Structure 1
């Protein structure tokens, strides 16, 4: 039998401490509480769903508004701006695809972001394939308008 040293005891203590910490992390349960939110919707508007922050907390609810436009990327932005709304961003485009496949079956929609690699292009949500890609801003695609509702905690 070998002699027990203080260094050996310290290393075993550190190893067991690390195992305890690992166990506590994996067995910790989490709770997600969904607060009651009353979202005012104008006629024809629909809630697409929640958008979450990176930490998993609610950021806002995405609302798809009735009607749509058609035209270039600039036309699409003007259409949304004229209604006091916005084009969906890339993340929201994916949510719209998932939440409203029947809407997306009508054709691809412009997204708000310009393509970083070429100023003549912008992002769109390809509705047949569900993918996102960039297209010349002069191309004619559908324009849908969205708003974002952040519930307040009173």
Structure 2
């Protein structure tokens, strides 16, 4: 049985398998799953709360890159929040533009879009 088939067996309704994130600095590899639904015109704090209510989390910058590569059709051509503040500037948070692929930062009050993800450990 392939890894993709095994992951596909544990996806919930409307969830999409995005791919494998390779662990860095001793962290374990994991599978990324895109949860259904989206919030639009939301600041970072409300977007973060929304993702938690779904049982997920906003994606990291690396995860947004994977989502852009593998699940772009599941996103509007808009800017989406990550969970990562810019180092040294906690009032700014990274995100990804799903029209151009560019990652940039905006202030927490900016009204962007958000999607939630969940992670599953990769069997090693």
Short-chain TM bin: 0.7 to 0.9
CA change 1:146–1:36 in 2 (3 A) is closer
Structure of higher RCO (CA pairs closer than 8 Å, 6+ residues apart) = 2
RMSD of Structure 2 on Structure 1 (CA): 2.2
List alignment gaps of at least 5 residues for structure 1: 1-33
Q: Considering fraction of residues, name the structure with more strand.
A: 2
Residues 19 and 31 in structure 2, CA contact (< 8 A), matched pair in contact too:
yes
The CA distance in 1 between the partners of 2:18 and 2:4, in whole Å, is 16
List alignment gaps of at least 5 residues for structure 2: none
Confirm whether residue 68 of structure 1 aligns to residue 38 of structure 2. yes
- TM-score, normalised on structure 2? 0.85
- Structure possessing the higher radius of gyration over alpha carbons: 1
Task: Pick from 35, 38, 41 the counterpart of residue 6 of structure 2.
Answer: 38
Confirm whether residue 48 of structure 1 aligns to residue 18 of structure 2. yes
Residues 77 and 97 in structure 2, CA contact (< 8 A), matched pair in contact too:
no
1:103 paired residue number: 74
Q: Considering fraction of residues, name the structure with more helix.
A: 1
- Residue-pair matches, total: 119
Runs of 4+ in 1 over 6 A off after TM superposition: none
